[in-house]
Amino acid sequence: MDLCVFGVDDGYAEAIIRGLRASFLTEAQYQQMKNCASIPELKSFLEETDYQNCLQADNPQIPTSILRQRLKKKLADEFEYIEAQSTGTLTKYLFHLRCRFMIDNVVNMIEGLKNKIDIEILLSNIDPLGWFPEIKNIKVLEGDDYSSLYRDVLIDTPIGVYFMKFLEESIENLHENRTLNDIQNLFREMKPEYIRTSLKKMWLEDFYVFCEQELMPTSQEVLLELLKFEADFKTIQVIYNSIGNRDLNTAAKIITTRKQLCPTIGNLYPDCEKMYLQAMTLDTLREAVKGCDNYRDLLKDAPDPLKREEFNVQTKTLDDIMYDDECRRYALAFDGQGSYGVFYSYLKLKEQEIRNIIWLAEMISRKLAKNHPGWKKIIIPFSHLGK
């Protein structure tokens, strides 16, 4: 039924997205990009693609960071345009998508400030997709007092909710007779990466609930499926990365941290929860997730996290494997009709494309040999569909 009325409100936005499908670089274009000898050549190649307009003003020897910024700006502009064309639920939905980038931005800012990087540089490096007016006011932050940052600045922002939850949870975990100092210390010691993962987990759960409650059945079907996989991947990642992690020295600590960071949605939760929380080696993790779909296959090729030191560029890391699998799912979702999945997929696939370009730009600027395995480490959106 909802397929009949999908076009009424969201048809135009969907049509634009479908049109933007043509802007994805093709395999042949990637091949050409790989053949570029220098950054100026890569830039002039990109100027013949859809990225033409966003690069024209820059000089040929463009640094990768600026290149990334430009590419992201283009994506943000497109997204903003679609957002402006949307109404009702779609607007809310698109806003939710943005929140992920906002979290990234805020955490990046915090991380940068911690490392005493100048705020102007940080501001110029933020992801335009996750820009919101209050982000400038993070400057107000004094020291490492996240709770005051939240209280003063982030409370009014869209992602304030997640921060509040995060703070509450963190404080709850402290022992009974806590003092203000304890709390401040806690936050001071907290790693930005930890904040990011927990915030994203909250966002994911929140977004899941939103999709479940507000979207029409077709969108729900597509999105919930995607989000479940994403949650599972996140879980696996957390477990995987915590195996052999030196900072978490006791088994009990590992398990509590994992419990905090693993999303409470997805195919693995709650059935396999007990198993994976206990997993201390790659094999036990494989065993834990074997009940679900093709996760076992995914993990089959993953390198052992205990031998982390031996990793190099050639290693196909777990992230690469997962990106590859996600990319396939998003491409499938993109080609589905009448669902909001297409917006989500578009964003994800474009992100992947930007990652690819940046990766290639890095490879080129380092002048690596053409037989270097790194050249193969790009995942081309939609390349799975042809086969």
Site residues for another protein per CB under 8 A: 32, 41, 44-45, 48, 56, 133-134, 136-140, 142, 151-153, 155-156
Q: How far is the CB of 328 from another protein (least distance, A)?
A: 29
Q: How far is the CB of 36 from another protein (least distance, A)?
A: 9
Q: Given the complex with another protein, which of 184 and 267 has the nearer CB atom?
A: 184
- Cβ neighbourhood burial of 292 (10 Å; 0-12, 13-18, 19+): middle
The DSSP H or E segment spanning 15 is helix 2-20
Q: How far is the CB of 283 from another protein (least distance, A)?
A: 49
**Are the CB atoms for 18 and 375 separated by under 8 Å?**
no
Q: Given the complex with another protein, which of 152 and 273 has the nearer CB atom?
A: 152
Please give the structure tokens belonging to residue 373: 């395995």
Helices and strands in the chain: count of H runs, count of E runs: 18, 0
Q: Given the complex with another protein, which of 137 and 260 has the nearer CB atom?
A: 137
Please give the structure tokens belonging to residue 223: 């999105």
**Are the CB atoms for 69 and 125 separated by under 8 Å?**
yes
Neighbours of 110 (CB within 10 A): 21
Q: How far is the CB of 134 from another protein (least distance, A)?
A: 7
Amino acid at 176: E
Q: Given the complex with another protein, which of 56 and 65 has the nearer CB atom?
A: 56
Q: How far is the CB of 44 from another protein (least distance, A)?
A: 5
Nearest Cα residue to 360 out of 68, 124, 15 = 68
**Are the CB atoms for 363 and 246 separated by under 8 Å?**
no
Q: How far is the CB of 111 from another protein (least distance, A)?
A: 18
Q: Given the complex with another protein, which of 139 and 384 has the nearer CB atom?
A: 139
Residues in the chain: 387
Can you say how many angstroms the Cα of residue 87 is from the centroid of all Cα atoms in its chain? 25
Only one residue has tokens 């024209």, namely 56
Q: How far is the CB of 140 from another protein (least distance, A)?
A: 5
Q: Given the complex with another protein, which of 53 and 314 has the nearer CB atom?
A: 53
Residues near 154 by beta carbon (within 8 Å), at least 6 away in sequence: 106, 134, 160, 163
Q: Given the complex with another protein, which of 156 and 247 has the nearer CB atom?
A: 156
Q: How far is the CB of 91 from another protein (least distance, A)?
A: 20
Amino acid at 314: Q
Q: Given the complex with another protein, which of 70 and 350 has the nearer CB atom?
A: 70
Q: Given the complex with another protein, which of 4 and 57 has the nearer CB atom?
A: 57
Q: Given the complex with another protein, which of 136 and 384 has the nearer CB atom?
A: 136
Residues near 137 by beta carbon (within 8 Å), at least 6 away in sequence: 152, 153
**Are the CB atoms for 17 and 37 separated by under 8 Å?**
no
Cα–Cα dist 132/276, whole Å: 37
- Helix/strand/coil for 259: helix
Amino acid at 247: D
Q: How far is the CB of 195 from another protein (least distance, A)?
A: 21
Cα–Cα dist 106/261, whole Å: 18
